[in-house]
Structure 1
Amino acid sequence: MAIEFAPLPLPPSADPSKFIDFGREVKGVDPATLDPKSERFAEIHDALYKHSVLLFRDVSMTPEQQYALTKAFDPKSEDYGHGNNKTEGTKKSILHPDLKTIPRVPQVQLIGNGTVYNHEGLVEAKLKHPSHTTFHKTRVSPEDEAKGVTRFYRWHIDAALYDLSPPRVTTLYGLIVPNGPPQVCRYDDGTGDELPVPLGTTAFVSGKTMFDILPPELKSLAVRSKVRYAPHPYVWMAPAHAMPNALGIETEGLELPLNELPPWEESKIKAFPVVWKNPTTGELHFEVHPCGAAELLVDPVPAGAKREGALFPDGAHLTELKEVRELLYKMQRPAIAPKLVYPHDWHENDLILFHNRGVLHTVVGAFTPDQVRAFHQCNLAASDDPTGPSLEDVKKWA
């Protein structure tokens, strides 16, 4: 049986012209039993890099099979993307409450909401769906929340951003998906933007689109820049507050001082290109985790390139958090407009694979304590760092 790739059902809010190549539902293949050396896996591999998000419906998958499928995209990878058991064990980390490790397959995490009993070796797992109410500087009023108003939680890439390389692929498998009325995700950033969303959606935006829609001067800046992340960024950012549209941190000076972080080494601090090159298509994807960014390093415009109108034509090293954040926000905010967001409507036994080096995503919404939700998540710290733009790319866009 031939593999079929069908377009994802887009919500009315989406601009179809911006989703021509984004996202596919895959039919005719069981992802749990894919042979990594088969032509069928090669077809899935290339489709993921071309379409960024792949959806499989009605999947039956063990944690071992999910780990094997995730690892097939990077056979040299081994450990969970934040380091096996390290995220949950670092109690100061903002990720600490969100993840429970499957004991026999530590690369797979149990996430969700409510209490789950006797699950894959976990006698009792108390899960908490990440909510803007615990992370944002401001929050939706309880009255509006009761009416179904909510927010994005945190736009991000799955990555430790310190010591380990960002995973190539994340797999998300929905086991228990509670039903409930749709919500309205409010941006609350002065634009009036709102997005109707299914309860508990995972929202995705394309890093390729994020780069493609930039004006020339910001494309030039993007291809010439690297972002340097804070050491142990999830501990560093834990006392701080996110912006209301979840695209970065408010600059209030609340980040944990570097001398109060867990021990860290300068050599393990990560500095990545702002745009990452897709290994299959050659396209450029804007891939920055705005919450963990600490500095920007900008190269000069190349010899012979137009300097007029260029930002930092002689290069720059930006270390003031407010300036770094405002520049990144200026580049990233257009791409989270409602018409560019794909909010997935989860069903039980949905499996989503997404190109973690090609999209940004976020948890959305809120559940009541008695609404049980259980997902398995797997991503693996990659065997390599992402590749930035080539010299030809820089010359083309700078």
Structure 2
Amino acid sequence: MAIELIPLPLPASADPSKFQHFGREVKGIDPANISDKEFEEIQDALYKHDALLFRGVDLSPEKQYALTKAFDPTVDSYGHGNNKTGSEKKSILHPDLKTIPRVPQVQLIGNGTVYNHEGLAEAMLKHPSHTTFHKTRVSPEDEAKGITRFYRWHIDAALYDLSPPKVTTLYGIQVPDGPTQVCRYDDGTGDELPVPLGTTAFVSGRTMFDILPQELKSVAVRARVKYAPHPYVWMAPAHAMSTALGIESEGLELPLDELPPWEESKRKTLPVTWKNPVTGELHFQVHPCGAAELIIDPLPEGAKREGALYPDGAHLTDLKEVRGLLYKMQRPAIAPTFIYPHDWKPKDLVLFHNRGVLHTVVGAFTKEQVRAFHQCNLAASEDPKGPTPEDVKKYA
């Protein structure tokens, strides 16, 4: 049976014209048992469409690790390192991940208590909720009515020492039923998004770049973002914005001299836009919560200066200014019309291009609603490539 690619079912909130390239359901291939030729087809499809869905999959942790590793064969460490957070309990990631003992590259995530699971006698899982991370929260009364929020828009990446993974695989094992929730932005726009319970929401970094006005495209192709050292420890005391697209600037970040030992040479400075290895398109790929500085190159020779932002380049180190500029560029793309909220079913396997999309968990569960997923991504063999000089000339 030949591979078949079918557009993903979009919610009524989505604008179909913005999803012509994004997302495909794959039929005709068992992702747990693929030939080299089938993998080449999957790899090509993933980079072209950024997210692939396989339904009804039986997938062991070993098979999931092997599939993930096939995209970057020389690597073998989980995206945050096989100990996930450097044994640092202050990290905001610490409560969310439980390692599968025999395959440390695969993490168990979810909600509730899981027993006798892949070598774990008992695992107490906690679904990340905006109530523990945002500056403000939905009232308990509204929460009881099904009102919720995005948790944290992000890229799967340590953003310190290790290179961002190319691909994340997410496998739904136990998926609780429940009513649709309404994700509220609470930013004065009135934006709301109906979402399935416990959805993973995705936005295309390609769309995020494509919809920018010209003057911001120019900044995006000329800019690099410098991340804080140990960013998940650094940001832990701080609070997120109501849209989950970054941190409120309240001066609550952990001072650099109170972080675990770090080296300046291991801090990541990455392009704001990452070049797709198959399509050549640019994807706006910034983890807004970990960003500490922005370095913007001057306009290239011959570029039009009238109306240009930062024509002579800039090095922005004021956190409020850095975050404000990134928010201005990223917020349009998380409008409801641009979001794909996946409606998980048991045995769904989703592969997503971690260098081409941003994603977030959404919603909240009760303690009785047990959810168990396996997640795998691997720190890449190299950093992502940014725009070419030709790209800079085109967009600057």
Calculate the TM-score normalised by the size of structure 2. 1.00
**Does structure 2 conserve the Cα–Cα contact (< 8 Å) formed by 1:4 and 1:26?**
yes
Aligned equivalent of 2:41: 43
| 1:55 partner SS | strand
Aligned equivalent of 2:20: 20
Structure 2 residue 11 is matched with structure 1 residue 11: yes
In 2, the alpha carbon distance for the partners of 1:93 and 1:311 equals 36
**Does structure 1 conserve the Cα–Cα contact (< 8 Å) formed by 2:78 and 2:84?**
no
In 2, the alpha carbon distance for the partners of 1:295 and 1:87 equals 22
Written as runs of structure 1 = structure 2, the 5 A alignment for 1:111-126 is: 111-126=109-124
Q: 1:86, CA displacement in angstroms?
A: 3.3
Aligned amino acid, residue 158 of structure 1: D
Aligned equivalent of 1:283: 281
Aligned equivalent of 1:249: 247
| 1:369 partner SS | coil
| 1:61 partner SS | coil
Aligned amino acid, residue 24 of structure 1: R
Question: Structure 2 unaligned runs (5+)?
Answer: none
Aligned equivalent of 1:172: 170
Q: 1:88, CA displacement in angstroms?
A: 7.4
Q: 1:34, CA displacement in angstroms?
A: 1.4
In 2, the alpha carbon distance for the partners of 1:47 and 1:366 equals 32
Q: 1:234 aligned to 232, 235, 244, which one?
A: 232
Structure 2 residue 345 is matched with structure 1 residue 347: yes
Calculate the TM-score normalised by the size of structure 1. 0.99
**Does structure 1 conserve the Cα–Cα contact (< 8 Å) formed by 2:184 and 2:193?**
yes
In 2, the alpha carbon distance for the partners of 1:298 and 1:310 equals 12
In 2, the alpha carbon distance for the partners of 1:77 and 1:334 equals 35
**Does structure 2 conserve the Cα–Cα contact (< 8 Å) formed by 1:88 and 1:99?**
no
Write out the 4+ residue segments of structure 1 that deviate beyond 3 Å after TM superposition. Answer: none
Aligned equivalent of 1:30: 30
Aligned amino acid, residue 33 of structure 2: T
Q: 1:352, CA displacement in angstroms?
A: 0.1
Aligned equivalent of 2:315: 317
| 1:184 partner SS | strand
Aligned equivalent of 1:148: 146
| 2:112 partner SS | strand
In 2, the alpha carbon distance for the partners of 1:77 and 1:184 equals 39
In 2, the alpha carbon distance for the partners of 1:347 and 1:113 equals 15
Q: 1:79 aligned to 77, 81, 91, which one?
A: 77
Structure 2 residue 269 is matched with structure 1 residue 271: yes
Aligned amino acid, residue 205 of structure 1: V
| 1:226 partner SS | strand
In 2, the alpha carbon distance for the partners of 1:62 and 1:382 equals 22
**Does structure 1 conserve the Cα–Cα contact (< 8 Å) formed by 2:182 and 2:194?**
yes
Q: 2:358 aligned to 360, 364, 384, which one?
A: 360
Q: 1:347, CA displacement in angstroms?
A: 0.1
In 2, the alpha carbon distance for the partners of 1:267 and 1:86 equals 20
Aligned equivalent of 2:208: 210
| 2:85 partner SS | helix
- The percent identity for this pair of structures is 82
Aligned amino acid, residue 53 of structure 1: A
Q: 2:217 aligned to 219, 236, 248, which one?
A: 219
**Does structure 1 conserve the Cα–Cα contact (< 8 Å) formed by 2:200 and 2:359?**
yes
Aligned amino acid, residue 393 of structure 2: K
| 2:103 partner SS | coil
In 2, the alpha carbon distance for the partners of 1:148 and 1:397 equals 43
Q: 1:89, CA displacement in angstroms?
A: 2.4
Backbone CA RMSD of aligned residues: 0.6
In 2, the alpha carbon distance for the partners of 1:257 and 1:88 equals 18
In 1, the alpha carbon distance for the partners of 2:193 and 2:314 equals 37
Question: Structure 1 unaligned runs (5+)?
Answer: none
Aligned amino acid, residue 105 of structure 2: Q
**Does structure 2 conserve the Cα–Cα contact (< 8 Å) formed by 1:220 and 1:397?**
yes
Aligned equivalent of 1:382: 380
Aligned equivalent of 2:182: 184
**Does structure 2 conserve the Cα–Cα contact (< 8 Å) formed by 1:88 and 1:96?**
no
Aligned amino acid, residue 273 of structure 1: P
Aligned equivalent of 2:298: 300
In 2, the alpha carbon distance for the partners of 1:87 and 1:32 equals 29
In 1, the alpha carbon distance for the partners of 2:302 and 2:242 equals 42
Q: 2:53 aligned to 52, 55, 77, which one?
A: 55
In 2, the alpha carbon distance for the partners of 1:34 and 1:73 equals 13
**Does structure 1 conserve the Cα–Cα contact (< 8 Å) formed by 2:246 and 2:323?**
yes
Structure 1 window deviating more from structure 2 (68-77 vs 82-91): it is 82-91
Query: Structure 1, residues 294-338: CA drift from partner, whole Å, max 9, x if none?
Result: 000000000111111111110110000000000000000000000
Q: 1:77, CA displacement in angstroms?
A: 1.2
Structure 2 residue 324 is matched with structure 1 residue 326: yes
Query: Structure 1, residues 113-143: CA drift from partner, whole Å, max 9, x if none?
Result: 0000110011110000000000000000000
In 2, the alpha carbon distance for the partners of 1:151 and 1:323 equals 25
In 2, the alpha carbon distance for the partners of 1:291 and 1:127 equals 23
In 2, the alpha carbon distance for the partners of 1:309 and 1:107 equals 48
Q: 1:98, CA displacement in angstroms?
A: 0.3
Q: 1:87, CA displacement in angstroms?
A: 2.1
Aligned equivalent of 1:335: 333
**Does structure 2 conserve the Cα–Cα contact (< 8 Å) formed by 1:130 and 1:363?**
yes
Query: Structure 1, residues 40-79: CA drift from partner, whole Å, max 9, x if none?
Result: 1101100000000000000000000000000000001110
